[in-house]
Amino acid sequence: MIKLGEFIYPWGNGHYARMMSLNESLPRYLKEEYEIHYSSKDEIYQRLLEKFSPQYVHKILMPTPIDGKSGPSVSKSLFNVLLPVSKNPPLIKQISDYLREEGRLYDKEKFDLVINDGDMGSNVLAEKRRVPSIFVTNQFMPKLWSTRVYFYPSLYFIAKQIAKATRIIVADSPPPYTICKYNLNFPDKMKNKVTFVGHYASRKVVTEKSQTELQLLIEGTNFGYWMRTGNRATNTTTGQKYEEIFHDDKMGNEKRLVSHARNDPSINRVFGKDGKSYSVSEALEKRIDWLQIDIGFLSEQEKDAVLRLCDYVVTNGSHTVIGEILGIYAKPVIGIPVYDEHTNNLRCVEELGLGILARNKKQVLDAIAQIKSHNDKFGERLESYKKNFIGSGAQTTAKIVCEMLENKKKDNSFSQ
């Protein structure tokens, strides 16, 4: 039996989403019997336990930045290099402990191939044990815009570990349609192992038995879709920025649906233009002229409907999210970045004429007005981008997995 290892970085949801898309595609191409072992921590580890048998899910304490009020705390993360901070042991100890734990898993399971989405430490272990490895990413030596130059030494260190992978998979369309181009700076000597496979964003077929109450409430309405995504700190920071904008007088008649990416039904509320709050059922029954809808977690059916019906999408610029919005649904994006990665993605989106990068409240309000005034121009550019969009990244990666396993089999036969 073939044994595969998937090492999923726990910072954000994009790494997990990509690997789950890959898992859906693998059975179409990998015809031999196989099993997959999954490794991560925190929320991603819990989601893996809910989805797979515990014997295939492993808790590995991969080092991650320490949360602050607005995303990762630079000062706390720097102090944590040598000192314990917020219940986190010193980073040096974290790294040694996590590599030791991953090493034990390698030695126990004897993987035939590993897929590392964001976990660069697994590249090091795979290289030492001569296990073929795939590193999935949308970043390599990204350009830093708002942070300080003292981050560059750490970027060089990370790049060195990424380079140890047998193959590097970029989850984006090839140039000139690469959204994450400012986050990629591969040296020429590495380009022979880099493949642009496309986004892991093929549209799922949604079978609608009947429309939900939310779908009925938003049908035939012009509204913006405001997405809160990412880990807890990113999600909270994004929400705070949204609330500041919502309190501006210019938003008094601008309908919006806010998804919180939190599986908490108590979040679900409808705010009417009459200043009152309702449940979704009440708003639908009373035909309330609504201003804002807050939803904790959208079902696949509801998410598909919201993205089809909305006029524009506001997001922080997460790569996985904007790929789906632009390439599958062809909706203009207003991006409010939290990290440099987001800024880099959104600069490219703006250059392609697919959306607008907005750093503050005034720029967001201007962006909404601009998209409404030039809807046809945005629509033309988005349709052109959609035609050139590659969303079959998961399928192409599955083929590469099969190719690498076949090559390993041939090499073993030859050596014998």
414: confidence class by pLDDT, cuts 50, 70, 90 = low
Between helix 121-129 and helix 152-162 the angle, nearest 10°, is 40
| Helix segments in 52-211, DSSP class H | 74-79, 91-109, 121-129, 152-162
Residue 374 has pLDDT above 80, yes or no: yes
The confidence score (pLDDT) of residue 203 equals 63
Residue 4 has pLDDT above 90, yes or no: yes
Residue 65 has pLDDT above 80, yes or no: no
Question: Residue 69: which residues within 8 A CB-CB, separation 6 or more?
Answer: 233, 237
More confident residue, 355 or 14: 355
Q: Which 3 state secondary structure label does DSSP give 407?
A: helix
Question: Residue 233: which residues within 8 A CB-CB, separation 6 or more?
Answer: 67, 68, 69, 70, 71, 72
Which residue is it, tokens 């994450």?
180
| Contact by Cβ (8 Å): 6, 39 | yes
Can you tell me the distance from the alpha carbon of 205 to that of 198, in angstroms, rounded to the nearest whole number? 19
CATH class of the domain at 213-388 = alpha beta
Global model pTM greater than 0.85: yes
Query: What is the share, in percent, of the chain residues with pLDDT greater than 90?
Result: 77
- In CATH, which of 3.40.640.10, 2.60.40.650, 3.50.50.60, 3.40.50.2000 is domain 2-201+392-415? 3.40.50.2000
Residue 85 has pLDDT above 60, yes or no: yes
413: confidence class by pLDDT, cuts 50, 70, 90 = low
2-201+392-415 and 213-388: identical CATH topology: yes
CA 398 to chain centre: 19
Residue 145 has pLDDT above 70, yes or no: no
Residue 312 has pLDDT above 80, yes or no: yes
Can you tell me the distance from the alpha carbon of 322 to that of 180, in angstroms, rounded to the nearest whole number? 10
Range 363-378 average pLDDT: 96
More confident residue, 202 or 280: 280
Q: Which 3 state secondary structure label does DSSP give 238?
A: helix
The confidence score (pLDDT) of residue 72 equals 63
> CB-hemisphere CA count at 13 Å for 145?
14
Domain boundaries, the chain: 2-201+392-415, 213-388
Residue 264 has pLDDT above 60, yes or no: yes
Q: Tokens standing for 135?
A: 């590193």
Residue 242 has pLDDT above 90, yes or no: yes
Range 282-311 average pLDDT: 96
DSSP output for 324-355: HHHHTS---EEE--SSHHHHHHHHHHHHTTSE
Residue 267 has pLDDT above 60, yes or no: yes
**Checking DSSP bridges between strand 355-357 and strand 2-8, what pairing results, if any?**
unpaired
Range 344-356 average pLDDT: 96
Residue 356 has pLDDT above 80, yes or no: yes
